[in-house]
Chain A
Amino acid sequence: MPFYVAPEQQMKDRADFARKGIARGRSVVVLHYADGILFVAENRSQALHKVSEIYDRIGFAAVGRYNEFENLRIAGIRHADLRGYSYDRRDVTGRGLANAYAQLLGTIFSSGGEKPYEVELVVAELGTRPADDQIYRLTYDGSVGDEEDFAVMGGSAETSAAVIREGWVAGLDLGSAVRLAVRGLASDGGPSVPARELGTDALEVAVLDRTRALPRKFRRIAGERLAALLADDGAPTGPGEPTPEPPAGTTGGGVAEKTLDEVPLPAPREGSSEHAGEHAGEDAGGSGDGS
């Protein structure tokens, strides 16, 4: 005979279950910086990403159960690509995607049949102006929060968030923002425990960079570039420090413009007068004469 479980208790049990699953992994930090939005995840795998590109100006970060958020990531890419293909690239918005995720997660959470997803997501979108940049944070039950300055999810999120809250100011340059996020991730043991050492191979870093000329603003930062950003621990540089950019993605119609080093203008041909008269008016222009 089935026992009666009060709906409050049922929801609480499901929430506890999801929360526990999410807290088991390592954290992800998403924050605004001078030129856009920065994603930093502690992730020792080079193949299984926690941060990825959804669309031109939309990035995705997740913590929790890998197969579940990977499924959501692919669904998000399908949603965005189909919408952009059917209408226009500009009609794909972070708000629309966040709503779609919220409905899905909410429905699964409150339906008794399936187990709730053990995931927490961030959908971040670059606006046309810095003030329009958005970080939407979605939890396992489908609630959406619009984060002001930064978001930390997974692991000991609260402890890391406290460190980042102290150091965060508007208009951080990329290097300072990366170092702040890494400091937050490394201090997840709490103030009494010394910060862990996180090197480039333990980090997954990506940005939505407003200064990128191409339509696809998402790019990963790894290897030497990341090491340089982490190492540069001197005085904070001004906002918007320019950083060299590797070759960039161009799908979606945008394309970088190339300027030839030297325009190979044809030299006046030798012996053009030999053929004078072969074509009427050949000598009329006169520009190639006398060489």
Chain B
Amino acid sequence: MTATRAHGSGAGLPAAFLRAGSSSFTEFVAEVSPEVLPGRRLAGTVPGPAATGSAGELSPHATTLIAASYDGGVLMAGDRRATMGNLIAQRDIEKVFPADEYSMIGFAGTAGIGIEMTGLFQVELEHYEKIEGAPLSLSGKANRLATMIRGNLGLALQGLAAVPLFAGWDEAEERGRIFSYDVTGGRYEEHQFYSVGSGSIFARGALKKLYRPDFDLGAAAVAVIQALYDAADDDSATGGPDLTRRIYPVILSASAAGVERIAEAQVAQLVEAVVAERMERPDGPRAPLR
């Protein structure tokens, strides 16, 4: 009986399930059922480097994400657009998710890979927590994610790259922390704020002028909405707030109370106020010269 049928039919627990092993879900699956892991099915089916770009264009791309720390936590926000070449593939995609009780993950790049990586990462953290009876440390989670990205390097080189942004509340250090990654799995801790994706340059530039470390959650939420607006202003792949369809950025926060999502009605209120201000001054708030 193959491993696939063993779990597919649900008949009993194969011997591999009872074997002593690590607490990692990914390692376990790689042993008993590797075909369900992200990338494994795609590896080898995508044309080589000669066709780079075309594989990327065939698949929707998720765009801008921002993480910013505030007094007592860290928040993460994402716009809602996915593009496919010059087309808008989806207007209301969500690219920021809770990874577990105290951390959040978002991704930019190839949507299919990013969503699958996110799903696997969530199971990985939950699996570890259930088996060990205690969650991984925040740095442990960040390192685990780096390993997963490294596993996708082959596909990334073929044009199917997804780059996550990870942030969470570090219970041991009692502060919010932000981690960024590159496609080779390099892991970098960021301070104060960071942004990834196609509009990230503009978002980071905007946030640089607006950010203050003593922000409370509400002020930080306004700042990231402003930054996303600026990203959408200059990057066609980033979606601005869609007032007619009522599609607004997703904003999650992680603090000592755990991961929470700011109620959509309140995000709507904040976005509408920001847009109303921009009616007056399209470039947004003005920073003092010195």
A-side residues, CB < 8 A to B, are: 47, 49, 52-54, 71-72, 74-79, 81-86, 96, 99-101, 103-104, 107, 216, 247-266, 269, 272, 275, 279, 281-285, 287-288
Contact = CB atoms under 8 A, between A and B. Distances in A.
Given A79-B7, A251-B100, A285-B280, A260 B217 contact: yes
Nearest to A262: B218
B221 interface: yes
A279 B8 CA distance: 63
B279 A281 contact: yes
Interface in B223-263: 252-253, 256-263
A42 B161 CA distance: 51
Interface in B60-113: 97-101
13 contacts: A74-B17, A74-B131, A79-B7, A83-B10, A85-B119, A85-B123, A247-B258, A249-B129, A253-B122, A258-B261, A259-B262, A262-B218, A275-B281
A82 B273 CA distance: 45
B53 interface: no
Contacts of A71: 18, 20
A263 B99 contact: no
Contact of B222 (A47, A266, A284): A266
Given A256-B261, A257-B261, A81 B222 contact: no
A264 B261 CA distance: 17
A266 B273 contact: yes
Main secondary structure of the interface of B (DSSP, over half): helix
A248 B98 CA distance: 12
Nearest to A54: B130
A123 to B, nearest CB: 13
Contacts of A47: 133
Given A251-B98, A260-B262, A53 B33 contact: no
Interface size class on chain B is 35 or more
B282 interface: yes
Contacts of A247: 101, 256-258
Contacts of B266: 259-260, 263
A251 B99 contact: yes
Interface stretch (B24-32, B42-50, B149-157, B185-193): B24-32
A86 B11 contact: no
Contacts, number: 168
B101 A251 contact: yes
Contacts of A269: 277, 285
B261 to A, nearest CB: 5
A86 to B, nearest CB: 5
B279 A285 contact: yes
B130 A287 contact: no
Contacts of B257: 247
B289 interface: no
A98 to B, nearest CB: 11
Contacts of A104: 12-13, 18
A77 B101 CA distance: 18
Contacts of B125: 251
A72 B159 CA distance: 42
Nearest to B134: A47
Nearest to B7: A82
Contacts of A279: 281-283
B58 interface: no
B166 to A, nearest CB: 14
A47 B132 CA distance: 10
Contact of B262 (A79, A216, A258, A284): A258
Given A100-B12, A251-B101, A285-B276, A256 B260 contact: yes
A75 B276 contact: no
B24 to A, nearest CB: 11
